[in-house]
């Protein structure tokens, strides 16, 4: 049932991409909100990194609080952040990768890094290959699941692409991003392929910002990463031995890199800066990229409507705001 829903979602994505609906939506979003998306993602992944290392933990009194810094995982995360920061400041080539490996090695005597092997055979995809249930496609349950997947995946992917492209300097002054439709098509086709292989929704990962931070700009970067993933399938035990605390420094520092577009937001124009700020803070606070975008767009439309800044709004933006509000009411 779930794989069928993902396949249908991917097909809808292909249609929306061919008709350039997804590009139309991105182009309609104000430049200030787009720049805020990248910054919001930066705070979001930094928060995830700190949480994974146990530097930030859940608290019933204050929602979150600082963890026990004497514990191995949290302490290793702090050591990794300091070490990787020094490498970045000294402009050491491959500083992020070196930081991960060095932190993982430091974790061995601390008892955090535990090796469970080096080579293993990838599991077979046969049990889940093309396991679809098409007799359920016209049911209400399928409609709800597909729409939910579609909505969340669309704006998570959109937010990640906009954020990473903004960091890479690919966004033009008018807020448009050339070639974005090709990226959307790759995402749509990958979603359908993933469903056929028994995988959950395939999406664009925010960790892509790490590649951009190291200078990656072309498709060769993505192709090289894909080849590395293909090889990594046979060395899964080795890579799985790397603790979450070892990747925390990269997430925190890349989070910093993602904040740079904020400098291009006119903070003195509150009709622009307030929705941008809402976009930024709502991503980590709701633990969702899509919710940050939705809140930012809704606030932008409502604020500028009430301030009668009609020139800042466009028909697509009105439609998006209505759909986003309906999403929060009915889903």
pTM of the model: 0.84
Return the structure tokens found at 168.
């890479």
Quote the mean pLDDT of the chain.
87
pLDDT tens figures, 81-121: 999 999 999 988 888 989 999 999 999 999 898 888 888 88
| CB distance 217 to 45 below 8 Å | no
Nearest-angstrom CA–CA distance, 157 and 186: 11
User: What is the pLDDT at residue 236?
Assistant: 86
Taking phi first (over 0 means left), then psi (-120 to 50 degrees means alpha), and beta for anything else, what does residue 176 get?
Answer: beta
pLDDT tens figures, 128-169: 788 777 777 778 778 888 888 887 778 888 888 888 887 777
- pLDDT of 3 strictly over 90: no
User: What is the pLDDT at residue 151?
Assistant: 79
> What residue spans define the domains of the chain?
2-330
Looking at per-residue pLDDT, the higher value among 168 and 240 belongs to 240
Looking at per-residue pLDDT, the higher value among 304 and 5 belongs to 304
| CB distance 92 to 98 below 8 Å | yes
User: What is the pLDDT at residue 272?
Assistant: 94
């Amino acid at each position: 049932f779930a794989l069928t829903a993902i396949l249908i979602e991917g097909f809808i994505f292909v249609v929306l991409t061919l008709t350039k609906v997804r590009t139309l939506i991105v182009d309609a979003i104000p430049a200030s909100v787009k720049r805020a998306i990248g910054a919001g993602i930066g705070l979001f992944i930094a928060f995830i990194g700190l949480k994974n290392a146990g530097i930030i933990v859940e608290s019933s009194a204050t929602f979150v609080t600082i963890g026990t810094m004497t514990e191995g995982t949290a302490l290793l995360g702090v050591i990794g952040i300091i070490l990787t920061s020094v490498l970045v400041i000294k402009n050491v080539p491959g500083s992020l990768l070196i930081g991960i490996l060095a932190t993982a090695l430091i974790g061995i005597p601390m008892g955090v890094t535990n090796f469970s092997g080096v080579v293993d055979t990838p599991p077979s995809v046969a049990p889940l290959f093309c396991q679809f249930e098409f007799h359920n496609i016209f049911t209400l349950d399928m409609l709800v699941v597909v729409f939910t997947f579609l909505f969340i995946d669309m704006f998570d992917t959109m937010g990640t692409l906009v954020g990473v492209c903004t960091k890479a300097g690919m966004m033009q002054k008018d807020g448009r991003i050339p070639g974005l439709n090709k990226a959307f098509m790759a995402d749509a086709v990958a979603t359908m392929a993933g469903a056929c292989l028994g995988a959950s929704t395939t999406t664009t990962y925010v960790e892509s910002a790490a590649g951009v931070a190291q200078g990656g700009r072309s498709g060769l970067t993505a192709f090289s990463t894909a080849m590395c993933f293909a090889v990594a399938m046979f060395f899964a035990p080795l890579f799985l031995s790397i603790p979450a605390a070892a990747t925390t420094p990269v997430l925190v520092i890349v989070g910093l890199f993602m904040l740079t577009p904020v400098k291009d937001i006119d903070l003195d124009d509150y009709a622009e800066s307030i929705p941008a700020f809402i976009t930024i803070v709502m991503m980590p606070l709701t633990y969702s990229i899509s919710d940050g975008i939705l809140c930012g767009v809704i606030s932008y439309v409502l604020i500028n409507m009430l301030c009668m800044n009609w020139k800042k709004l466009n028909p697509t933006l009105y439609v998006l705001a209505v759909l986003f509000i309906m999403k929060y009411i009915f889903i």
